[in-house]
Amino acid sequence: MIQILQSMRLVKEVELEPNLQLLDLIFHFMNIPILNLLLNEIKKFICNTPKSKIPQLDESKEIEEKSAQPTEKCCFKPIDINSNEGTFLQAAKKGGNIQLMEEYMSDPNFDIYCCGTTGNNAMMLAALEGNVEIIKMLHKHGMNMYKRNADNLTAFHIAAIKGNLDVIKYFVSINFNLQCRANNLNGLELAILNNNMNIVQYFLEELDFEPVFDYAVAASSHGKRDILTYLNRFNIFWEKQNILLNIAASKCNLDAINYFIDDLHFDVNSRDQEGRTPLMIAALTKQEEAVDLLIEKKADINMKSDEFKDAFYYAVESGSTNIVCKLFINNAKIENINQLITVAKAKNDEKMVRLLTNDLN
């Protein structure tokens, strides 16, 4: 027990997760099953408790941290590549000399949390490259597993993004909080967004994560066909089909548009709560390829939203002259050219005004 406590170096932060890590290490060392069970229950309680209800040691500090941008929470400074810190980080990234890294860490004045301008420390660099042995060593020395970089990512999230399954499995083995979120996304959502099938299958099949609508949203945004096909086994796409198709249109995810319409037979003219169709959303978000594909899928060009706006209106509003021309070529009706010109003028879009006034009028 004393050896474990002596080896730990906690950062000076008011966070619950590092304290959980400390308890995890101690309970693991003691090897008492009932304590491990207790720790898991504590984690579940914290995960399900709104942050506003979790006691804080320093409330003013907590408010200050929440209002700051990720790059303001930590001071990231350039590291001299030839310094001890630079060598330490390079070894972590390359999976190199563990013995040398441990020598550096034995110096009480050495900053094991040193990082470059992006805020990636040794743990994060090891996760980036899939160097599990480095991560094990750093964890053994009590490094804070929940430390975040300038993008608000922990090493766990980085591994999910990069598809490094062995790293994810190690985090699972040490009871890392798998619901820990980065930019409101958990590890499974990040894996879906980056099309890392191995991570997605591991979470859903081996860890028995419950398939929820959030994963359908992530897949609609950036999922490729193989991810979409796999996730469809869990019946997560049948809720709010209109929203999913609109998301795919807004992100120009052509794989998702094709899959939803051709394979799952979603209505190409489905409407969201404001009556907007996928074509309107594609026009509004200036997604030219999505517009082309939706027109090819026989989307109704002249449908109107609840505010009586059509795809033509949204294209003008977004300032996309290319989409305006595409719609015009495909026989979109212009019922009130003066209204469209007024919209373009309100946005000081002279190019659009000229197009509407001289070429389409």
At 239, is the pLDDT very low, low, confident or very high (cuts 50, 70, 90)? confident
Is 221 contained in some domain?
Answer: no
Residues 153 and 273 in one domain: no
The answer to whether position 183 is within a domain reads no
Q: Is there a single domain that holds both residue 17 and residue 150?
A: yes
* pLDDT at 25 exceeding the cut of 80: no
Q: Give the CATH number for residue 284.
A: 1.25.40.20
Domain finish residue from 117, 152, 176: 176
Q: Are residues 132 and 21 in the same domain?
A: yes
Domain edge (last residue) among 155, 176, 197: 176
Question: Which residue reads 């009706």 in tokens?
Answer: 333
For residue 247, tell me if it sits in a domain.
no
Domain region containing 319: 268-361
- The label of the residue with tokens 């609840």 reads 306
138: nearest Cα among 170, 165, 179, 181: 170
Residues 21 and 151 in one domain: yes
- pLDDT tens profile 111-150: 999 997 778 999 999 999 999 999 999 999 999 999 999 9
Quick one: tokens of 168?
């994810």
Q: At 69, is the pLDDT very low, low, confident or very high (cuts 50, 70, 90)?
A: very low
| Distance from C-alpha of 358 to C-alpha of 344, rounded to nearest angstrom | 14
Residue 94, domain member (yes or no): yes
Domain membership flag for residue 226: no
Q: Which two tokens stand for residue 114?
A: 């040193």
> Of the residues 160, 176, 192, which one is the last residue of a structural domain?
176
What's the pTM?
A: 0.76
Indicate whether 114 belongs to any domain.
yes
Q: Are residues 71 and 171 in the same domain?
A: yes
Is residue 211 situated within a structural domain?
no
Q: Residue 157 has what pLDDT?
A: 98
| Mean residue pLDDT across the chain | 84
**Cβ-count burial of 26 within 10 angstroms (0-12 exposed, 13-18 middle, 19+ buried)?**
middle
With respect to residue 329, please indicate whether it lies within any of the assigned structural domains: yes
The whole-number average pLDDT for the span 221-234 is: 97
- From residue 191, how far is each of 148, 153, 165, 179 by CA, in Å? 18, 13, 10, 13
What is the pLDDT, as a whole number, of residue 96? 79
Contact 294, 282 (CB under 8 A): yes
The answer to whether residues 168 and 23 belong to one domain is yes
Could you give the number of structural domains in the chain?
2
Helix pair 84-94, 132-140: axis angle to 10 deg: 130
pLDDT in tens, 320-357: 999 999 999 999 999 899 999 999 999 999 999 999 99
Which one-letter amino acid corresponds to residue 23?
L
The average pLDDT across 210-238 equals: 96
**Residue 137 and residue 273 in one domain:** no
pLDDT of residue 7: 42
